[in-house]
Amino acid sequence: MKRYAFVIHLKKEKYTQYKELHSKPWQNVLDILRMNNVKNYSIFYKDGNLFSYYEYYGNNHEKDMANIANNPTTQQWWNLTKPCQEPLSSAGKKEWWSSMLEVFHMD
Amino acid sequence: MKRYAFVIHLKKEKYTQYKELHSKPWQNVLDILRMNNVKNYSIFYKDGNLFSYYEYYGNNHEKDMANIANNPTTQQWWNLTKPCQEPLSSAGKKEWWSSMLEVFHMD
């Protein structure tokens, strides 16, 4: 298992909408994540930033992330969530959420 | 079990020191955390922010956090780590790490 964490800005005016969407996430979106080896996935909010954390149980993260991204249901979900978010100014051209570096872990 | 996440700034000039400290954390510090029902504890870094995530398995978070904070070994460790950190400008007077709000979770 490998842990992943990411950060992105949440637009202030979209806070309520984003929170409501994630209080009732689509079952199909969750199923696609689980089918692609993502577990124990949380998103936290503070002061305009979203932090996400999940545990990946597969052996090809890149392929599984592509499966998730290419799924039509995921894309419909992202059509709603992406306009709420704003990548960090340091994000790469093809990056949406910015990957964080693990500096500490204790089981 | 309940999940907790926090955010705090890391001073730019302290990045290397903080990373080195956390690559070899003191065994006693980890033992005190575990004895107080903290598990699966990670800290991630991006762009001057530290994001911490842990899972709490006890039934009195406030008391267990006080046990951790009052322990002399924890205090020695914090004497090294706290000068590296800077609370968010929105942090309360008695707050160090700022608590984040969970907006989403999938097991």
Interval A48-85: pLDDT, tens: 999 999 999 999 999 999 999 999 999 999 999 999 99
Residue with tokens 């960090």: A88
Straight-line distance from the first to the last Cα atom of chain B, in angstroms, rounded to the nearest whole number: 12
ipTM of this complex prediction, to 2 decimal places: 0.96
Q: What is the mean pLDDT of residues B49-63?
A: 98
**What's the pLDDT tens digit per position in A11-46?**
999 999 999 999 999 999 999 999 999 999 999 999
Q: What is the mean pLDDT of residues B48-53?
A: 98
Residue A55's closest chain B neighbor by CA? B107
Task: Supply the pLDDT for residue A102.
Answer: 98
Q: Compute the mean pLDDT over every residue in chain A, rounded to the nearest whole number.
A: 98
Q: What is the mean pLDDT of residues B8-34?
A: 98
To 5 degrees, how large is the angle CA A76–CA A93–CA A32?
30
Residue with tokens 């951790």: B68
User: What letter would DSSP give residue A37?
Assistant: T
Q: Cβ separation of A90 and B47 shorter than 8 Å?
A: yes
Q: Cβ separation of A103 and B44 shorter than 8 Å?
A: yes
Q: Cβ separation of A106 and B41 shorter than 8 Å?
A: yes
Q: d(Cα A73, Cα B73) in Å, to the nearest integer?
A: 50
Task: Supply the pLDDT for residue A84.
Answer: 98
Confidence of residue A93 (pLDDT cuts 50, 70, 90): confident
Q: How far is CA A57 from CA A3, A36, A40, A54, A80, in A?
A: 9, 9, 10, 10, 27
B44 pLDDT higher than 90: yes
- Which pair of tokens denotes residue A39? 């577990």
Residues of chain B neighbouring A42 (CB-CB closer than 8 A): 3, 5, 53, 102, 104-106
Contact B52, B5 (CB under 8 A): yes
Contact B42, A100 (CB under 8 A): no
Task: Supply the pLDDT for residue A91.
Answer: 96
Name the CATH topology of A2-99. Answer: Alpha-Beta Plaits (3.30.70)
What pTM did the predictor assign?
0.97
B84 pLDDT higher than 90: yes
Angle between helices B72-81 and B61-70 (to 10 degrees): 80
Task: Supply the pLDDT for residue A21.
Answer: 98
Q: What percentage of chain B has pLDDT greater than the value 70?
A: 100
Q: d(Cα B72, Cα B56) in Å, to the nearest integer?
A: 22
Burial of B94 (0-12, 13-18, 19+ CB in 10 A): exposed
**Best residue of B14, B27, B37, B100 to probe chain A, by most A CBs closer than 10 Å:** B100
Task: Supply the pLDDT for residue A69.
Answer: 98
Instruction: List residues in chain A touching B: CB distance below 8 A.
Output: 3, 5, 7, 18-19, 22-23, 25, 30, 33-34, 38-47, 49-51, 53, 88, 90, 98-107
Q: How far is A29 from chain B (nearest CA, A)?
A: 11
Task: Supply the pLDDT for residue B75.
Answer: 98
